[in-house]
Structure 1
């Protein structure tokens, strides 16, 4: 049986002897762990693999061991987890050591996995119910249920007899036999036993099995093969020899590298090659590495820990358009990945003094596909966008109060863009981050394009460290047809494609002489000075004026239809109440001119405005005409090519006491048009 108290390995011992210290510990305590593993694996090769993996994991996880848990409990938890990983569905008795207790082993093998684990840990290895429940991660009450049902099953396998004890008292058997009952309950139970012969026989047979299970011989008779630990030591020795050989090769490479290192440095400081090579080797964060290689950011190494979660600020890149902070979050207790979100648990204490007020931080979703975020289940690299600096430099006072858990697969991942709903971790992580703003370069374009007869100005191209920015203008004013928004395709700079920002890529500036001025954000462009630029328009969203009025009569029969913009629209319902409801619909979207209507309902008093609420139903249609139900949630919106949103039903709710509608006024509509227009600009 596992001793009540085992010696623990200290960090100092590991530092002195390395993994050999863990091997020595398992060699001293091999008997109980071998017996424990035997109930999962009946194959000597697998048993050796079990010990080998357990030693590696205990050695690797030792820095995370917390002394508030006993060392043997911690090791047993790791050991059982690996037992489960290696165990097969079919188990056969093949060893001579099993012969003397074969009936007992066979009976235990018939149990459910959870029952068997509870029985072996409590009766075979000597852990208490509380300790065994900790190892198996179940409650003590659940542990008692498993022990009772497991003992009953073993008894039936061994004796085959049927016992008819009173069910309401059977729950007390384990506590009574282990002398864990409170005195009043114990007296009541013994009075019942005195009167009930069935319970006497049932408890006596139950006790026989528990005594048999408590007897240590059935565990100790499982002799550990002499070569078990020796084979494991040999495997570690071979692994160390391979490591030494690899190290020798690396030393030879290092000598060659050292001979040319001075040349690399000399060339590097003049050409930028040194920064490129250096950060390729030393920076794990793929996104931050690119900025550092271009000498466009600052590397910082700041760390704060709260409740077992470490947040490290890795670097910062700032320009006139945003401030990017790169971070790493490590959960040292669990295999969970977290991300931080601006204005959701992340506060910049000195934001009003340090940063510009007339902008809003750009959104940067977590990069779930990056290789660096697939390597460790408890580690995540991310970045968060903050407002740009007002001055050229400063110190960001960042206070993080909560972070959000990520989920990388399953239905929840699809619906939440990687965020686990309500999966928050609270804590206190504070940083003071020094930052210096990097300069941007502006190029005047002074070009004008045309989209369906409407002029579009292309004013500036701005090359900033964190983004490539196209500044453009569209006409404002009272027009029968106007552009509300333009969707841009890739930008080409010197023949290189630069992708548009899909999240918050537009920024509105101060209007100028009946022109609306906007900025479109693209990915950063690294390289030589831009000479040839190609701007592509993918689509534009238009507003049209087209007025029409339809009389309403609450006493009329509905539905009724009317024609508008080449389509037949139905008035499905006009119902007086609190609120009064008007429902209109058009489910035919193929070749439909409009996507949404600009509408209003007028009451009996035309000069008195009506407060109106609205709910809609609709479909999404991609560029190829494929339809998607907006309410289904069974599709990935980000993968739909240039979606159009067609409203099919509009529910108009008129607030007030039985408002009587008299007229439906339509002012116009919105429609998106697909484009394939390209404007080429030369900056020479």
Structure 2
């Protein structure tokens, strides 16, 4: 197996699709139903994509297997899933494997089901090769019992340890001769070895036969559909922000300053010398110092002015001067800027990357046409202090929009300045205060639990979790709008909430607020923003290509039109619903099947949408579109254009049924929850 050449989710899905057979069998060794299998592939793809850029000592195949195995174990250990979900028929061997000790099962499954070497198995289990052999032997012995072999284990122990190496022909010659001589004279060992060899061959023959094991034809399509749906809202935001001159997706609005710290002192020097009010506040509080590190390349000078680190993030304040022309540039992390020693110094496991819009409204960025001051958010440190090795190879050119000088050019017209700027930035991490929370509430009948409040010098973080225990309705995303601590209220923007983790039971989220550093919470009030919901509401509509269209049907209180069913090598189905007033859903989760359910090879969907807020439909052609000024914005799909292709390119695809599985909707919330602190 080779590593995907690209780092996109699609390339990783393609890689899993090419190797789905062996991983599918590996999954069934631990799991008991199809829904768990889909969750397993989904979570594995997400985790591989998230961690693909990190360095590792294992080969790509072994590394992916380690992730896959870990998620297998998480899902198999989840008792709530085992009770609540349907258990599907499995091969007797899989059921027998469930009876083994964990390490025995892992060793047997990796070595004989997945087919990796004992050396790689040892790396994954973090044990020696000799220990792997012991686990394999004891595991195979246990399988004999589990599969009804009533024979006794009467072989000589000093020779039993050589069974596996002898069968696999890896036993040293001297030991091999001694083993064969002993077998010739010992009846007990002959019987014991024969029984052991039989179970081992049964396992190997089973693995060989599983090469023809049928993976459901729509399995990877379902996994990809979920990935697509989860990512849809983020891609929609990016698409809309591109139109208003925002150049990167899922980013967070710039925090304009922080609250004055309790018990702080005032520095006359920084009051007069530092014009950036946010950085000046940090410096006045003694949370950082002026660095003024400089590097110049290709006519552009970059100055690292200061760096402020805590448990949430590491803020780097910079200034860029174009010494040759009147241009302004910004640093974009992972797009020309990287930390060379991030593996050694940054918190990659629990850290969260934040982004800040280039601020063209500030006074300092409107004084000179060739100077720009900005800030860069990096991951938090793993140590109390260290040196960040920041490497910059390109800068984003900020081209101001003539119709709005406070915004810059669209994503598709980005320009870059090449060069090489290297910095070694000394940083000291300042402590944060964490408060365990003890409160829960419900959103649309779904439990929400508040976990933790973190008050750090650079930000305030609220973490909360959704328990999607009712499959008919799920909260896919939940934002917090306002946070009030000791009668001091801070507000988040719609971009400040994000996932931190997710599983089959629900998701954990966090919202970043302006810093409340120095506050000692006595009372906490949280007001939610909005919840994005998925509702399971299945309905099947028969399709007849010979009938005349358009035709209508009722769904979730709305009238939906099937405008076209046009059969061909690429079959076209168009459905629409332009009446969005009081509509229960924003988009539908649907599928189309043919009479032969395996006939359809691919389904491509193109959509038309309208953007609305409380005051009605928004004209998206207006430039610029001030998204932050809208009240309760929502995107409604009005037309869905579906293209179907069959496995046999020479035959027409004839659709028979339109299956609507459910819909997505957004609920804006006014709930305010009072939260007590754990004692």
Normalising TM by the smaller chain, what interval? 0.5 to 0.7
Query: 3-state DSSP class of the match of 1:509?
Result: strand
Residue in 1 that maps onto 2:655: 661
Partner of 1:680: 674
SS at match of 2:416: strand
The superposition leaves residues 598-618 of structure 1 with CA deviations (integer Å, 9 ceiling, x where unpaired) of: 001112212566421111101
Unpaired runs of 5+ in structure 1? 1-269
Name the SS for the 1:638 alignment partner. helix
Aligned residues of 1:414 and 1:636 also touching (Cα < 8 A): no
For residues 468 and 633 of structure 1, what CA distance do their matches in structure 2 show?
Answer: 34
Moved more, 452-461 or 640-649: 452-461
Q: Evaluate the alpha carbon distance shift between residue 619 and residue 413 of structure 1 in structure 2; reply closer, same or farther with a 3 A threshold.
A: farther
User: 2:552, 2:560 within 8 Å by CA — same for their partners in 1?
Assistant: yes
| Alignment-derived partner of residue 284 in structure 2 | 293
Which digits, 9 at most, give the CA deviation of each residue in 1:271-325, with x for residues without a partner? 9654444422222222222222233334322001112211000111222222211
Among 297, 303, 306, which residue is 1:306 paired with? 297
Task: Please give the root-mean-square deviation of Cα atoms over the aligned residues, in Å.
Answer: 2.5
CA distance in 2, matches of 1:610, 1:549: 20
Which residue of 2 is the match for residue 562 of structure 1? 553
2:484 to 492, 496, 505: 492
Structure 2 match to 1:340? 331
Larger radius of gyration: 1
Deviation string for 1:398-433 (max 9, x for gaps)? Answer: 111111111334248688568792322111111111
Shift of 1:497: 1.9
CA change 1:373–1:674 in 2 (3 A) is same
User: Do structure 1's residue 367 and structure 2's residue 359 form an aligned pair?
Assistant: yes
- As a proportion of its length, which structure holds more helix? 1
Ranked by relative contact order (alpha carbons within 8 Å, sequence separation 6 or more), the top structure is 2
Structure 1 residues 495 and 679, CA gap change in structure 2 (3 angstroms): same
Q: Write out aligned runs for 1:46-445 (5 A).
A: 273-358=264-349, 359-411=351-403, 421-445=413-437
Supply the distance in 1 between the matched residues of 2:387 and 2:619 (Cα, whole angstroms).
48
| CA offsets 1:190-220 (integer angstroms, 9 cap, x no match) | xxxxxxxxxxxxxxxxxxxxxxxxxxxxxxx
User: Which residue of 637, 640, 647 maps to 1:650?
Assistant: 640
* Cα separation, 2, equivalents of 1:337 and 1:526: 33
Aligned residues of 1:363 and 1:504 also touching (Cα < 8 A): no
Residue 630 of structure 2 aligns with which residue? 640
**Aligned residue number for residue 503 of structure 1:** 495
| Match of residue 27 from structure 2 | none
Q: 1:467 to 1:628 in 2, by over 3 A?
A: same
Whole-angstrom CA distance in 1 between matches of 2:496 and 2:590: 28
Say whether 1:479 aligns with 2:471: yes
The change in CA–CA distance for 1:420 and 1:661 in structure 2 (over 3 A counts) is closer
Structure 2 CA distance for aligned equivalents of residues 355 and 329 of structure 1: 25
Alpha-carbon spacing, 1:348–1:590, altered in 2? closer, same or farther (3 Å): same
**Which of 588, 601, 613 pairs up with 1:597?**
588
8 Å Cα contact 2:401/2:409 also seen in 1:
no
Measure the CA separation in 1 of the matches of 2:623 and 2:264: 48
The CA deviation string for residues 470-514 of structure 1, in whole angstroms up to 9 with x for no partner, is: 111111245212222223212112222212154353131365x93
Describe the superposition over 1:118-140 as per-residue Cα deviations: whole angstroms up to 9, x where unpaired: xxxxxxxxxxxxxxxxxxxxxxx
- Aligned CA distance change for structure 1 residues 459 and 610 (closer, same or farther; 3 Å): same
Classify the secondary structure of the residue corresponding to 1:279.
Answer: helix
1:442 is displaced (CA, Å) by 0.6
For residues 554-591 of structure 1, give each alpha carbon's deviation from its aligned partner in whole angstroms, at most 9, with x where no partner exists: 22211111000000000111112342211100000011
Do the aligned residues in 1 keep the contact of 2:496 with 2:511 (CA within 8 Å)?
A: no
Segments of 5+ residues of structure 2 without an aligned counterpart are 1-260
626 and 324 in structure 1: CA distance in 2 versus 1, 3 angstrom threshold: same
Distance 1:629 1:612, change over 3 A: farther
Summarize the Cα distance change of 1:500–1:475 in structure 2 as closer, same or farther, 3 Å threshold.
Answer: same
Give the Cα separation in 1 of the matches to 2:643 and 2:412: 35
Supply the distance in 2 between the matched residues of 1:503 and 1:314 (Cα, whole angstroms).
27
Q: Distance in 2 between matches of 1:414 and 1:585?
A: 38
How far apart in 2 are the matches of 1:508 and 1:422? 30
TM-score by length of 2: 0.57
Assess if the C-alpha contact under 8 Å between 1:440 and 1:463 holds in 2: yes
Shift of 1:658: 2.8
Does the residue aligned with 1:353 lie in a helix, a strand or coil?
A: helix
Alpha carbons 2:608, 2:637 under 8 Å: kept: yes
